Amino acid sequence: MEQWSFPPRFDADYLPAPDSRYWFPRRETMAPAERERAILERLQRLTRYAWDHAPFYRRKWDEAAFHPDHLRSLEDFESKVPVVTKKDLRDAQARVPPFGDYLCIPEREVHHIHGTSGTTGRPTAFAIGRDDWDAIANAHARIMWGMGIRPGDTVFVAAIFSLYMGSWGALAGAERLRAKAFPFGAGAPGMTARAAMWLDLSKPAALYATPSFALHLAEVGRSEGYDPRNFGLKTMFFSGEPGASVPGVRDRIVSAYGAQVVDCGSMAEMTPFMHVAGSAQTDGMLCWQDIVYTEVCDPTTFHRVPYGQRGTPVYTHLERTSQPMIRLASGDLTLWDDGPTPCGRTYPRLPQGIFGRIDDMFTIRGENVYPSEVDAVLNQLAGYGGEHRIVITREGAMDELLIRIEIAPAGDGEAARAALRDAASHRLQKMLGLRSRIDVVAPGTFPRTDFKARRVIDDREVFRDMNARLRP
């Protein structure tokens, strides 16, 4: 395959022909069985590399009675190599701070440090070597080419530049693609209004953000007198939260900007995080298997589920040497298939993207509910004002669900509120299989976000207060 080596080496001057749909035509369109043979060879080299350089993997694999010499098929990889969890990574970094004993390069060779915020526990540090940063930039450039972004296009990065990997990864890809990178950022007071001003001024071809911020930006832009469709955006690519593959959310973004929406992104630990990403022709997410090997697995056994079924993604780096993740369990939920794709790439596909984290699921009267399912319903309702909150309680014999929905400013009134309440109740019952209480509230009730939206509240007091107000 084109430039297929380990450790990876890339031609920094390489670009495809301008009219090529593919960055690496053979690598992206080869027969899956041929690619899997190459992936197996890479996994054999990778596991040997990790065994030699990372006490973390030697210890974990010894406990599982696995040795790299045992790896003779992808089935061996699935059945013999244990998964790694985020807790494993935190424990390793507590034991060997700051990067853990799965760092496979000398600390002096670390080029970038990123990490989790650590707001709910010990943060996790990501140590990325210089060669790995080049590999990330090349992978993201390649995937962004597949989205239709080209050298010379302006890429407006509207995400927080801090520990968060998303903004930095998008910037690295844009720079390698020879695009005009515009690292605008997000999060400071008044910055969203300035983003609208700069978008109107610079007319970029592409924008990277979270879906929640894109919708917030459209609202703020209109309030500042701008029409988001006049920004001239052709491609908008998103990560950080479900949304870009949720029909109602995606359709609202398309309607606001008139741009193509591309979903991408797995986990910061798995950067290049765009290794699951759609293309200019293919919705959902492609699993770019020659960058990160993705298995969709039963969340209990971590054995692969058949195509067409739901499971949790398990990821393995194929181009990382600093902190390679080998069978990292994501804790997310998705569905995969292996049908033909409109773009001609022969990768498995997540047609509905990532649904959300399994931990985010809650059970109401025996029914499993994902916040993204509620998002999908509400975003398709006439009169929906763009934000909502899901309030649940764990008190009593059965959990209860109350949903607070903002009404659109143009349609506020008693009749409109009643219509929105009835429509939401009907559509949610059809989607979720259960009744929920609906509270329609005034426009602007809930704050907007420059980052990832948090819409689920598990709070007994809040539920009691809201339920009492709604009780006839």
> What is the chain's pLDDT, residue by residue, as a tens digit (472 residues)?
688 999 999 999 999 999 999 999 999 999 999 999 999 999 999 999 999 999 999 999 999 999 999 999 999 999 999 999 999 999 999 999 999 999 999 999 999 999 986 545 678 999 999 999 999 999 999 999 999 999 999 999 999 998 889 999 999 999 999 999 999 999 888 999 999 999 999 999 999 999 989 999 999 999 999 999 999 999 999 998 888 998 888 999 999 999 999 999 999 999 999 999 999 999 999 999 999 999 999 999 999 999 999 999 999 999 999 999 999 999 999 999 999 999 999 999 999 999 888 877 776 766 777 787 888 889 889 999 989 998 886 555 556 788 999 999 887 788 999 999 999 999 988 888 778 889 999 998 998 877 677 777 765 455 456 556 555 5
The model carries a pTM of: 0.83
The Cα angle at residue 456 between residues 375 and 160, in degrees rounded to 5: 80
Question: Which residue, among 107, 134, 115, 452, has the nearest Cα to 272 in the 3D structure?
Answer: 134
**Crossing angle of helices 371-378/414-432, nearest 10°?**
140
How far is CA 238 from each of CA 261, 354, 402, rounded to the nearest angstrom?
Answer: 8, 12, 29
Q: Which amino acid is at 91?
A: D
| Strand boundaries in 265-383, DSSP class E | 276-277, 285-287, 292-297, 310-317, 326-329, 332-335, 349-350, 354-357, 362-364, 367-369
Phi first, then psi: what are they for 167, rounded to 5°? -65, -45
Give the whole-angstrom CA distance, residue 299 versus residue 315.
13
Give the whole-angstrom CA distance, residue 408 versus residue 420.
10
Residues forming beta bridges with residue 235, ordered by sequence position: 206, 260
In this structure, the strands spanning 367-369 and 354-357 are: unpaired
Write down the residue that tokens 């940063």 correspond to. Answer: 133
Give the whole-angstrom CA distance, residue 155 versus residue 180.
6
Residue 139 near residue 275, CB atoms below 8 Å: yes
Give the whole-angstrom CA distance, residue 101 versus residue 375.
40
Residues forming beta bridges with residue 404, ordered by sequence position: 389, 439
Q: How many Å is the maximal CA-CA distance in the chain? A: 70
Q: Which two tokens stand for residue 289?
A: 């298997």
Q: How many CB atoms lie within 10 A of CB 424?
A: 23
Element (H, E) at 458: strand 456-458
Q: Which two tokens stand for residue 30?
A: 């080869």
Q: Which domains does the chain carry?
A: 1-357 (3.40.50.12780), 361-470 (3.30.300.30)
Question: Which residue, among 202, 209, 196, has the nearest Cα to 161 in the 3D structure?
Answer: 209
Q: How many CB atoms lie within 10 A of CB 64?
A: 11
Q: Which two tokens stand for residue 119?
A: 């707001």
Write down the residue that tokens 């890339």 correspond to. Answer: 10
Residues forming beta bridges with residue 126, ordered by sequence position: 114
Residue 226 near residue 257, CB atoms below 8 Å: no
Alpha helices in 314-437 (DSSP H): 371-378, 414-432
